[in-house]
Amino acid sequence: MSFLFTNGLKDTNGNITKLSDESARAFCDILDAADKFAASQARLDDKIDQIYSHLDKKHQIDEEQSQIIQSNSNKISELLLHMDEKGQLDQEQEKLIAKNAQAIMANTEILRNLQTRKDTKIYIIAIASLLLSVISIVLHFIR
């Protein structure tokens, strides 16, 4: 286009209209500035596209991290719930252990009492057996 304005334009009659050298240079300068502006704007548009692409990637990463954080939060809540349940089970187990310890102590006392009675019965039987032996020996010599 600058070529046309520098060398002139032909009208329909074939006449060449030519700009002055200064006007042609000014027009060429304007065209060069426009080309430079268009190239600069294209680079700027590319840079803006890169920024938006980078922002989209960061937004996607943020979404993934947000989901991971939410998942971890849910897992932590679940673990805390299980810890509470375990605490309750531990308390119930401690109560049962204490109850069993009392039952064992009671059973031990009962066994001790039974053993004492058994020992007493054995002692009485042994004395009765000894007396019978002595009586039978005495009767044996008396006859």
What pLDDT is recorded for position 71?
A: 97
| Alpha-carbon distances of 125 from 57, 84, 139, 140, rounded to whole Å | 98, 60, 21, 22
Boundaries of domain holding 21: 2-142
Is the separation of the CB atoms in 17 and 11 below 8 Å?
yes
Q: Which residues, including other chains, have CB under 8 Å from residue 17's CB and lie 6 or more apart?
A: 8, 9, 10, 11
What pLDDT is recorded for position 122?
A: 78
Is pTM beyond 0.95? Reply is no
Q: Which residues of the chain have pLDDT under 50?
A: none
- CA 32, 37, 40, 45: dihedral to nearest 10 degrees? -140
Into how many domains does the chain fold? 1
CA angle (120, 125, 131) in 5-degree steps: 125
What pLDDT is recorded for position 40?
A: 96
Count how many residues are written for the chain: 143
